[in-house]
Amino acid sequence: MFEQILDADSKILIYLNNLGTSMFDWFWMVCTNEVTWIPLFVFIVLSVYRRFSAELALKILMYALLLLAANLLLTEIVKEAVGRIRPNNDRAMIH
C-alpha cells in the first residue's frame, strides 16, 4: 500500500513537471528567488506602520515574525522526524 502511494506521488510529480514549458523557466526562476520578494515585504511593513499606530504596528509585525519562526521550526522538525526524500531529490527519477 505504501509503495503504491510513493509510486503515485512520483507519477504525479512527473506529470505536473512535464506540464510546463521551457518558455516559462525564467518566470519560475524569478519567482523562486528570495530577493524578488524583498520589495513586497518592505511594502507590507511600511504599509502596516503607516496604517496603524507605532505600538500596534510593532505588535502586528512581531506576531507575523513569531508565526514565521514557528512555521519554519515546525517544518524542519517534521522533515527530520519523517525523513522521507521528496521525489524531486530521488536520484532514480533523474533522467
Q: What is the pLDDT of residues 39-70, one digit of tens each?
A: 999 999 999 999 999 999 999 999 999 999 99
What is the pTM for the complete model shown? Answer: 0.61
For residue 50, CA distances in Å to 42, 45, 63 come to 12, 9, 17
Domains identified in the chain, total number: 1
**Which residues constitute the domain of residue 84?**
2-93
Percent of the chain whose pLDDT exceeds 90: 51
Res 73: pLDDT? 95
Q: Are 93 and 10 in contact (CB under 8 A)?
A: yes
Q: What is the rounded CA–CA span in Å between residue 30 and residue 11? A: 26
CA atoms within 13 A on the CB side of 44: 9
Which of the four pLDDT bands, split at 50, 70 and 90, describes residue 94? Answer: low
Q: What angle separates helix 38-51 from helix 54-82, to the nearest 10 degrees?
A: 140
Q: Are 55 and 71 in contact (CB under 8 A)?
A: no
